[in-house]
Structure formats: C-alpha cells, structure tokens
Amino acid sequence: MAAPAAPATRLDPSSTYFKSLVELSSVALGSTIESFSDDFFAEVHNMIKLGPPVDMPGQFGPNGALMDGWESRRHNRRHDCRDDRRFDIDTRHFAGNECPATDVWGTTVASGQFIKNDMAANPAPDPARTGAATLSTSAPAHGPLHAPQNSDPIDLASILQGGRVTSTSDEHYGVGSYLLLPGRGKDREDGWHTRRSRGHLDTDRGDWLVAELGQGGGFLEWCDIDTKDFKGNFPDQVALYGCEVTKTGDSGTAKAITPSIEDDMRGWACLLDRQNVGAHAHHVRGLKEKGKRWTHVYLRIYPDGGLKRLRLFGRTSDGSIDYASLTPMEKPV
C-alpha cells in the first residue's frame, strides 16, 4: 500500500493524498506560536488549534466581533506575520475581513536558539491583511523520534513513531489522523468521528480506517481502543485486521489489497474479532497472530461513531529477530 503520489498542481483538501499527510503545526504535537505582530481582534493561537474553526455570529468582546481565528487590526503598515511542505490556510467565517493574500516563510533553528523577527524586512504583497481562521502545516509522515531496539515495546501506530492514517471511509465530524496523536486530547473535537448510518446496526456494514505502522512495521501484541469523551456516540462494535506490505524498488511501490469496498477483506488477517466497546473508556485487548509481522492495520467500526485514540503496542522488526525469542509483553496499563 504505497503512499499516494503528491499531485503536481494545487492540493484538494478532500483528496486522499492530502488526508494522508501529518499536520505538523498542531498544538497536539507541541507546536507553539513563537512571536507575532498583532492580534487585536482575535488571538493568533487559534491558528494551530485542533478541529475546524467555530462560527460565532452576533458575539462580541471588548475589541469587536469574536472570531475563532487570527484577526489583526486594519491597515497595519508593519504587515502581520507569525512564526510557525504544504499549507492549508483556512479563511472560513471571515467574509469581508479575510486576508487577500499571504506568504509563508520557513527556517531551521538550532536547539536553544531563538528567532528574531524583523517585520519590516519581510516582503508582503498587501499591507491591509486581516483575518485567517487556521493554518495547517502538513507533510508526509516524519521519521520516528527515536529508534528503539527490536525487543522494546512501543506504540507502533503513534505519529511520534512515524505512524499515519492513509485512508478512511468517512470523517464527517472528526479527522481520522487524530486517532494516532499523543495523549488523550481534550474533548470530542480531537477524535475520529463519522456520520450516522441509518439501518446498519447488526449488519456487516460500517466505517473503516487504514493506518500504516511506524518504524516500518513490526509484531503487534496489544491494542487500546479509547472512546474517551464519546459517551452516547461511540461505535457499537469494533474489529481490527492487519497485513504486511512488501515494498519493492527505489520508488517504494507496494502491492496490497486495500479495502476499496466495505466487504473486500482479501489480503487482511483478523487481529481482533468483532466485539463490543463502551462509552468513555480504554478498551485494552490482546491481539491474535502475535508472531507475524505487520505494516498496516485496518480498523472497522460498526456501524459508525467516534473513537478518541488507537494504540497498537508491539515490537519493531527488521526481519533479523525471531519473535519466539522475545518475552511476551505485559498488558499495558
């Protein structure tokens, strides 16, 4: 299951390729606003919050209408800027006070050093910039933060280990890639949440998500399916499947069967039988097929609903280690 090819033209935010990218500017991954020129009307920190911006018509604060985004005062001659591969600049809910143009600059700063901004030296096409709701800085899944030994148990699905969501059936209320973020988040806005599907209960129809494991894949032993904050809209049941994709050639092409339709399960092995889950809780379960190596997992939920996090605990494997020689992992707490 190769990563979708990057398009040569402007990205469509609804495209499979765009959805497979990791949002690096998110507060969930530790991003911060280091400095900015002005946020008179709406705080610049709103730009890197999780979830879509909220419309607040008719609500006013001391400086004017409330906006869930960044809005500077008008006609700022110093040009407005902030320090933060691909960018999604969202001007949703800014109608008449949206910024007509933007530019984005990048730099690399060594640990312990700071950025000094000379606003006047930064070229800008329009001095009357005003509003933008969010900025998403996205890139293909980055490498792991550390390289554990083959015997070290880790969460192979975590974004911090290089895991990423490659496709989903639906993201009506919440983005699929949020499942792999660190921590347990703050509310339902930072989980995967699908639309209601009438009449699918007690059937084989349901929503699904495919994730590529970090560290190049490995052995899986335990999963934690977390429904935190989903108290009346969690799925009735879940199931988990795995496959190993062998990459060939310099281009990294891969051969695998993807779940292009709901009942197409060719090439996938069952890791967790279909079973019930409950509200607002961890569901830690032992997985089947522990001695096999996996690179991708396929999560099914029945019939729909929301999950907060998916953790897949196991060991990395480069093919040089025999799983039978490893001490079984204890159940994660």
Tokens describing residue 15: 């495209």
CA 50 to CA 278: how far, in whole Å?
25
CA 299 to CA 304: how far, in whole Å?
12
Residue 121 is predicted with a pLDDT of: 38
Asked whether residue 285 carries a pLDDT value surpassing 60, the answer given is yes
CA 149 to CA 314: how far, in whole Å?
12
Q: Closest Cα partner for 85 from 30, 142, 124, 145? A: 142
- Respond yes or no on whether the N-terminal peptide bond of residue 259 is cis (omega within 30° of 0): no
Strand order across the 134-139 sheet: 22-23, 134-139, 86-90
Question: Which of 58-67, 252-261, 300-309 comes out lowest in average pLDDT?
Answer: 252-261
CA 304 to CA 36: how far, in whole Å?
41
- What structural domains does the chain harbor? 12-106+128-139 (no CATH), 154-317 (2.60.120.260)
Q: Which of 135-139, 182-186, 236-240 has the highest mean pLDDT?
A: 236-240
Asked whether residue 150 carries a pLDDT value surpassing 70, the answer given is no
Confidence band of 253 (pLDDT split at 50, 70, 90): very low
Look-up of token digits 């092995």: 269
Instruction: State pLDDT tens for residues 52-89.
Output: 778 788 888 887 778 888 887 765 555 555 444 345 67
Tell me the average pLDDT across 3-11: 55
The SS3 call for residue 286 is strand
CA 271 to CA 258: how far, in whole Å?
16
Asked whether residue 223 carries a pLDDT value surpassing 90, the answer given is yes
Residue 262 is predicted with a pLDDT of: 42
Confidence band of 1 (pLDDT split at 50, 70, 90): very low
Q: Closest Cα partner for 168 from 295, 263, 267, 259? A: 259
240 CB-near residues (< 8 Å, 6+ apart): 223, 270, 271, 272, 287, 297, 298, 299, 300
Higher pLDDT, 85 or 99: 99
Residue 319 is predicted with a pLDDT of: 65
Tell me the average pLDDT across 3-23: 65
Q: Closest Cα partner for 21 from 155, 145, 156, 164? A: 164
Higher pLDDT, 135 or 177: 177
Higher pLDDT, 111 or 46: 46
Tell me the average pLDDT across 198-204: 76
Higher pLDDT, 282 or 116: 282
Residue 317 is predicted with a pLDDT of: 82
Residue 144 is predicted with a pLDDT of: 57
CA 53 to CA 21: how far, in whole Å?
20
Asked whether residue 197 carries a pLDDT value surpassing 80, the answer given is yes
The pLDDT > 70 percentage for the chain reads: 71
Asked whether residue 13 carries a pLDDT value surpassing 50, the answer given is yes
pTM of the model: 0.67
Asked whether residue 192 carries a pLDDT value surpassing 90, the answer given is yes
Q: Closest Cα partner for 235 from 206, 203, 210, 271? A: 206
